[in-house]
Amino acid sequence: FQEYGIWLSEQLHDKRHKALYIKLAKEKPRLRLEKARVFAIDYNTKSVNRGRLFMWKLSESEKEKKSKSS
């Protein structure tokens, strides 16, 4: 989990929040994290830090999961 979380923080250019990404890697399914990572990296923006986009997409996928299970 630690290795993936650190790698994720490097990919998203958000090294300040390594602990958050390690925690997410431990608690969330890897497929959901990968989908959010790909979205954040491919998104066309001037900002180098993709952490906010990643967290937004991750929360959106959580909402989708809850609405499908209801």
pLDDT tens digit sequence for 1-45: 999 999 999 999 999 999 999 999 999 999 999 999 999 999 988
Q: Vertex 59, ends 2 and 38: CA angle to 5°?
A: 65
Exposed (0-12), middle (13-18) or buried (19+): which is 50, by Cβ within 10 Å?
A: buried
Q: What is the pTM of this model?
A: 0.88
Give every CB contact of residue 55 below 8 A, 6+ residues apart in sequence. Answer: 36
CA distance 58 to 46: 21
Q: What angle do CA 37, 1, 45 make, to 5 degrees?
A: 20
